[in-house]
Amino acid sequence: MSNPATSNTSTTPSNPPGLIYSGDYYLKALTIITSDGQIVDLKNNYIELNIYEDLFAACMTGTVLMGDALDLVANFKLHGNEWLQIEVDKPSLNKPIQKVFRIYKIGKRDFKTASLQNYIIYFCSEEMVLSSQRFMSKSYKGMIISDMVKDIMLNQLGVSSNKSSNGLWDKTTGLFNIIVPRMNPLEAIQWLSTRAYSSTGTLFFFFENRDGFNFVSYETLAKIPVYQKYYKIPKLTTNAQDNINSVNYLQIVQDFDILSSGRYGAFGSSIITYDLVNRKFSGAQFDPNQFTLLNDNLPINSTKNRFNSPILGNSDYLLKFYPTADSDPKSNGSYPENWL
């Protein structure tokens, strides 16, 4: 988001909900709160504000690009024990983002003139900083993964009930006996997420968005109605509203890499488990064909090599070994063969 003070655009009631122009937002609050209670208003000093929500990141993060002629860093002795209060809304939505983040870094500090300096303030949710300060070791017996994740959030991170209940939350399948071996709480949640699966075998995301923390399966996310479709086409007119669905620049950051995908088991893998109680080995194979797909396309076709073997479904790519301690695997097994 660019500072609206540099934009000549305005929002009219006839515009549809959401962003039409780069300045179509209402920044009601952008304030630093220091550890000793001082309040610093940044609305007249910031150049750019970015807030990130990422399916692959546990917490929300963001940056503020500053044009500072008041030397706020020195005058307010900023050192990382400060909070950043943000309240921003989009036209006609009346559903503002109202959050208090933790400032954890100031970077790229350039002195443009004797009185002006540019730098970037990095911020994140308080839970990310808190998690880095704590370790947990805990055993869970006969519980589903989603209940373990909620227990860590409430009792290890002290997340409020609103922040843990307003987001999407799916129940996982399977009862597990698991020991979390001295991990940061968020690290433990991500570790448990790799062992979570739904009744149809789809995997889980753990992430934070404006509504709170979410623990949800691929399947649920795929069923959410599409908000907007975008197309790579040139701009049709100079009217921004006519071009709202057009994307005139598109970059593919990464495409296929069969060597890397093979090493990480995307085309197939196998697992050997050893039951420490009953002293028994067992094995299972992972084949992408057996899982629910989000579309109709497999990651690669079944073309065979010179030894008449396809890439897809080759369990020799990756071998995992996992010890288990299921006293009675028939009634309360951890089923690691269902993990990815």
Mean pLDDT within 236-247: 74
In a domain, 51, yes or no: yes
In this model, does residue 297 exceed pLDDT 60? yes
Q: What is the pLDDT at residue 261?
A: 87
pLDDT tens column, 60-101: 999 999 998 888 988 888 888 999 999 998 776 777 889 999
Q: Are residues 32 and 101 in the same domain?
A: yes
In this model, does residue 7 exceed pLDDT 70? no
Q: Are residues 66 and 15 in the same domain?
A: yes
| Number of domains the chain contains | 3
Mean pLDDT within 127-138: 95
Q: Are residues 9 and 117 in the same domain?
A: yes
Considering the entire predicted model, what is its pTM? 0.77
How far, in Å, CA of 98 to CA of 256, rounded? Answer: 39
In a domain, 273, yes or no: yes
Q: Are residues 173 and 118 in the same domain?
A: no
**Domain containing 182: what range?**
135-223
How many helices, marked H, and strands, marked E, lie in the chain? Answer: 8, 14
> Higher model confidence: residue 302 or residue 45?
45
Mean pLDDT within 149-158: 94
- Residue ending a domain, among 105, 124, 143, is 124
Give which of 11, 69, 80 is closest to 42, Cα–Cα: 69
pLDDT tens column, 201-213: 788 999 999 889 9
pLDDT tens column, 104-115: 999 888 887 778
Q: Is the dihedral of CA 159, 162, 163, 169 positive or negative?
A: positive
Q: Are residues 141 and 119 in the same domain?
A: no
> Higher model confidence: residue 222 or residue 149?
149
125-134, 166-175, 245-254, 264-273: the lowest-pLDDT one: 245-254
